[in-house]
Amino acid sequence: AAGVIQSPRHLIKEKRETATLKCYPIPRHDTVYWYQQGPGQDPQFLISFYEKMQSDKGSIPDRFSAQQFSDYHSELNMSSLELGDSALYFCASSIARTGYPTEAFFGQGTRLTVV
């Protein structure tokens, strides 16, 4: 079965540079979530989108922005990168179905290293 696809898998950037992470949800899933996981930490919610509109916002820095496109893929744009942004970034997707609980399925993540 198709899973959530994230690209790139690994990314190395220098301080103050910009990075763009991409996420392709499971086909027919209408909701996308972004999470950040630092070393030894639990995943922290950044932002989510439902039907291309922002659904909820968590601890996402102002330097980061995201959007969901018409084909439901999503991109997380990160500017003015800092060393502390080094982390594993996960995308997850789900499908909203009336009367059913929402199960979120995660991609393999993008490991961002800022040097």
Partner 1 sequence: SQQGEEDPQALSIQEGENATMNCSYKTSINNLQWYRQNSGRGLVHLILIRSNEREKHSGRLRVTLDTSKKSSSLLITASRAADTASYFCATDRNYGQNFVFGPGTRLSVLP
- Footprint of partner 1 on this chain (CB under 8 A)? 31, 33, 35, 41-45, 48, 50, 55-56, 58, 88, 90, 92, 94, 96, 101-109, 111
Minimum distance of partner 1 from residue 7's CB (angstroms): 13
Which CB atom, from 44 or from 79, has the smaller least distance to partner 1? Answer: 44
What is the chain's length?
115
Cα-based torsion angle of the residue sequence 23, 29, 33, 34 in order, rounded to the nearest 10 degrees: -10
In 3D, which of 82, 28, 74 has the Cα closest to residue 55? Answer: 74
Minimum distance of partner 1 from residue 42's CB (angstroms): 4
Beta bridge partners of 105: 93
Q: 72 near 105, Cβ under 8 Å?
A: no
Minimum distance of partner 1 from residue 6's CB (angstroms): 9
Which CB atom, from 18 or from 113, has the smaller least distance to partner 1? Answer: 113
Which CB atom, from 54 or from 80, has the smaller least distance to partner 1? Answer: 54
Q: What is the DSSP letter of 99?
A: T
Which CB atom, from 18 or from 65, has the smaller least distance to partner 1? Answer: 65
Encode burial over 10-22: b for 16+ CB neighbours within 10 A, e otherwise.
ebebeeeeebebe
Minimum distance of partner 1 from residue 99's CB (angstroms): 11
